[in-house]
Amino acid sequence: MFKFVTQLLVFLITVSVTVNVQLCGNQNQQTVDEAFIESEIVKDLEIKLPSDGLDLIEVTYPNAICRESVSCGNELKSFQTLEEPIIKYPSESNTLYTFMMLDPDALSPAAPTLRSYIHWMVINVERDDLKSGSTIHSYIAPTPTPLLGAHRYVFMVFEQPEKFAVGSDAIVLERNNFNVAEWAERNRVFGPIAGNYFLEKLP
């Protein structure tokens, strides 16, 4: 009987962990965690992954020719990313979030002197409704330096401990040289809890 109960508990724990695993939808069928580690996003941004795994941020670019989805490392063209994408991610009521899109490879992957450049940042977001939040930096389309390789464009969501007031440390004034790890620690946010990224280069 004891052995049966033990096996049942192991099974239930395994199932609960499996449910939290989020696949990217890329060709490698990676989890979001695996993709962030393999692409060195975790190392370069010095972020900590949650113990139950990163959720997937669904990112869809509604360009005029066709809709393009981001799937952990797929490459997009500059004409595909001109417009602000549609964002969806798992969320809870009565919780506020910070959403951001960063380029950790500015000015170039070999010499990222502007790491990280903020392409988009919204705080105090209710659920995944970005329009409900306060936009600190409006969306700027990717502008990778020509001929110097593909840049990683990283989307992340953090869970806030409270609503951030105007004038608080959470308000980032400069787009250049944003240290997301320091920002997260200083503002006591949890996460990232969700992520995604794509590659883009010129030409």
pLDDT tens-digit readout, 144-203: 999 999 999 999 999 999 999 988 999 999 999 999 999 999 999 999 999 999 999 999
8 A C-beta contact, residue 176 and residue 107: no
Per-residue pLDDT tens digits for 112-122: 999 999 999 99
Residue 43, phi then psi, degrees to nearest 5: -70, -50
The fold of the 21-200 domain, in CATH, is: Phosphatidylethanolamine-binding Protein (3.90.280)
8 A C-beta contact, residue 92 and residue 108: no
pLDDT at 4 over 50: no
Mean of pLDDT values over 38-51: 97
Read off the pTM.
Answer: 0.88
Q: How many helices (H) and strands (E) does the chain have?
A: 4, 10
Per-residue pLDDT tens digits for 143-153: 999 999 999 99
Nearest to 140 by CA among 175, 98, 91: 175
Per-residue pLDDT tens digits for 12-22: 444 344 445 67
Q: Parse the chain into domains and list their residue ranges.
A: 21-200
Radius of gyration of the chain (CA): 18
Distance CA 67, CA 55 (A): 22
% of the chain beyond a pLDDT of 70: 88
